[in-house]
C-alpha cells in the first residue's frame, strides 16, 4: 500500500488533475474581460481591376487600416490573429468572403496600430460580378489563448464599392 | 534481484478465478475509455473530437504537439474559423484557417479555401488534383479550444512505436503482478 509505485501513481494522478483544473480556471478567467475594440479602414486607391484569362474578376487595392485592439488582451492571451475580409453578395452566391490581409499581434503593445498596405491575398471573384459591386469590409479578430477556449468576433464597416468599369 | 524472484513467484501462483477477475477489470477500464471517447464524438458532432497538431503551419498560434478540441455545429462556415479537414486520398487531417467563403444562394452549400497562418500560399497545392475549394463534407470540425504540449505523448507513440510496445508490456506486467 505504501510502495514506491503506488506513491508515484497517486502523485502523478493528483498532479495531472490539478494541472487540468488550473487550465480550466485560467480559461474561465477570460470571461471576465469585456473588450471594446475599434477600427477604421479607408480604401486609398483601386490599383487595377481586370478580368482574368479564366473569366474571374480580380481587383488590386491599397487600403489604410487603423485599429485599437488593446482591450482584447488578457494575461491568458498568446496572440490575436486579425484579418480584413471583403464581404459581398452576387446573383449566384448569397455570401462571398474574401480575406484581403491578415496579421498576427503577439502582444498588447502592438495592438494599437496603423498600416498602409495593398491586399496581401488576391481579391478574386467566383465569376465576373464585381463591376460596380457594393461590399463591406470586416475586420475579424481571433483571440488565441495560452490555454483554453478561443474566441472570435468582428467589426463590420459598410459603404465601400468597386468601380463600374474595368481599369 | 528479489523483485524478479517475487514476479516469477506471483506468476506461478495465479489462479484461474483471480486471473479472470483481473481480465474483466482490465476490460472494464478499456471499455469505459471507449464509451467516453464515443460520447465525446456525439457531443461535439465531430468524428474526432480531439486532434494533435502535427506540423508548424499554424505557428506561432499552434505548435507541433498541441492538442485541439473540435466542435462541429450546423452553423455555416465563415472566414476566420480554424477548421480541420481531410483531403481525399490523404489520411492525416489538416488544421488551417478559412480565408475565402463562397456560399450558394439556392442550396446554401459552400466553397471554402483555407491557408495555414505560417504558410506563404493558400492550400490549393494540398488539395486533390483539380480541386479548387473544400466543401462542407470535407470538414471534420472547428477548433474551439486548445491545450499546449499535451499532444507530444501521441506524437512520440506514433513516431517511435517501440515506446508504445514497451508501455503496453509494462502495463500488462503491472496488471498481472498486482496483488489486488
Give the ipTM: 0.83
Give residue B13's pLDDT band: very low, low, confident or very high (50, 70, 90).
low
Given a cut of 60, is residue B180 above it in pLDDT?
A: no
SS3 B88: coil
From A76, A78, A84, select the one nearest A103 (Cα to Cα).
A84
Question: Closest to B102 (Cβ–Cβ): which among A93, A104, A121?
Answer: A93
Residues B163 and B144 in one domain: no
For the question of whether the overall pTM of this predicted structure is more than 0.90, the answer is no
CB A13 within 8 A of CB A21: no
B145 and B160 part of one domain: no
* A85:B82 CB<8 A: no
The residue assigned the cell 505523448 is B153
Residue B113 sits in a domain whose CATH number is: 2.10.109.10
* Whole-angstrom distance, CA of residue B106 vs CA of residue A14: 54
Q: Is B94 helix (H, G, I), strand (E, B) or coil?
A: strand
For residue B6, being part of any structural domain is answered with: no
- Fold adopted by A35-161: Immunoglobulin-like (2.60.40)
Mutate to test the interface with A, among B77, B80, B110 (most CBs of A within 10 A): B80
CA distance A147 to chain B (A): 5
> Residues B134, B92: one domain?
yes
**Residue among A39, A67, A69 at smallest CA distance from A151:** A69
User: Is residue B72 located within the same domain as residue B142?
Assistant: yes
* Interface contact A27-B145, CB threshold 8 A: yes
Strand runs labelled E in B76-180: 82-85, 94-104, 110-115, 139-147
Same domain, B28 and B67: no
pLDDT along chain A (167 residues), means of 10: 79 91 88 86 88 87 91 90 91 89 90 89 85 89 88 89 85
State which residues form the domain around B161: 150-180
Of A72, A75, A49, the C-alpha closest to A60 is A49
* Continuous segment of H or E residues that includes residue B8: helix B2-12
Do B121 and B170 lie in one domain? The reply is no
> What gap in Å lies between CA B95 and CA B75, rounded to an integer?
19
Pull the grid cell for residue B138.
470535407
Q: Is B4 a domain residue?
A: no
pLDDT at residue number A84: 92
Residues B139, B87 within the same domain: yes
Annotation says B122 is catalytic: no
C-alpha cell, B131: 480541386
Q: What residues contact A29, with CB distance under 8 A and at least 6 apart?
A: A74, A75, A76
C-alpha pair distances (Å), A113 with each of A66, A163, B68:
6, 29, 30
pLDDT in tens, B53-102: 888 888 888 888 888 888 888 888 898 899 988 887 777 888 899 999 99
Q: What 8-state DSSP symbol labels residue B168?
A: H
Structural domains of chain B, count: 3
Please check whether residue B75 lies inside any domain of the structure.
yes
Residue B133 lies in a domain: yes
d(CA A140, CA A84) in angstroms, rounded, equals 6
Amino acid at each position: 500500500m505504501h510502495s514506491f509505485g503506488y506513491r508515484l501513481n497517486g502523485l502523478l494522478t493528483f498532479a495531472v488533475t490539478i494541472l487540468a483544473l488550473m487550465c480550466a480556471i485560467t480559461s474561465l478567467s477570460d470571461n471576465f474581460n469585456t473588450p471594446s475594440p475599434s477600427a477604421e479602414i479607408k480604401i486609398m486607391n483601386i490599383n487595377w481591376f481586370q478580368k482574368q484569362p479564366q473569366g474571374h474578376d480580380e481587383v488590386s487595392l491599397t487600403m489604410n487600416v487603423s485599429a485599437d485592439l488593446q482591450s482584447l488582451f488578457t494575461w491568458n492571451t498568446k496572440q490575436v490573429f486579425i484579418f480584413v475580409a471583403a464581404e459581398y453578395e452576387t446573383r449566384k452566391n448569397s455570401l462571398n468572403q474574401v480575406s484581403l490581409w491578415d496579421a498576427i499581434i503577439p502582444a498588447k503593445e502592438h495592438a494599437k496600430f496603423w498600416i498602409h498596405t495593398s491586399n496581401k491575398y488576391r481579391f478574386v471573384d467566383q465569376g465576373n460580378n464585381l463591376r460596380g459591386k457594393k461590399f463591406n469590409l470586416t475586420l475579424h479578430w481571433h483571440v488565441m489563448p495560452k490555454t483554453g477556449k478561443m474566441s472570435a468576433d468582428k467589426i463590420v464597416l459598410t459603404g465601400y464599392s468597386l468601380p463600374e468599369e474595368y481599369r | 534481484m528479489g523483485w524478479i524472484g517475487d514476479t516469477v513467484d506471483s506468476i506461478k501462483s495465479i489462479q484461474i478465478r483471480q486471473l479472470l477477475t483481473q481480465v474483466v477489470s482490465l476490460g472494464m477500464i478499456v471499455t469505459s475509455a471507449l464509451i467516453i471517447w464515443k460520447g465525446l464524438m456525439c457531443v461535439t458532432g465531430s468524428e474526432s473530437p480531439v486532434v494533435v497538431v502535427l506540423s508548424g503551419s499554424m505557428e506561432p498560434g499552434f505548435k507541433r504537439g498541441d492538442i485541439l478540441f473540435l466542435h462541429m455545429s450546423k452553423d455555416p462556415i465563415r472566414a476566420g474559423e480554424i477548421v480541420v479537414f481531410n483531403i481525399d486520398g490523404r489520411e492525416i487531417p489538416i488544421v488551417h484557417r478559412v480565408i475565402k467563403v463562397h456560399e450558394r444562394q439556392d442550396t446554401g452549400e459552400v466553397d471554402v479555401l483555407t491557408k495555414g497562418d505560417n504558410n506563404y500560399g493558400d492550400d490549393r497545392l494540398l488539395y486533390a488534383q483539380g480541386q479548387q475549394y473544400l466543401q462542407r463534407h470535407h470538414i471534420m470540425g472547428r477548433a474551439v479550444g486548445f491545450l499546449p504540449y499535451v499532444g507530444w505523448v501521441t506524437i512520440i507513440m506514433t513516431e517511435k512505436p517501440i515506446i508504445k510496445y514497451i508501455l503496453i508490456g509494462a502495463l500488462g506486467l503491472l496488471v498481472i503482478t498486482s496483488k489486488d
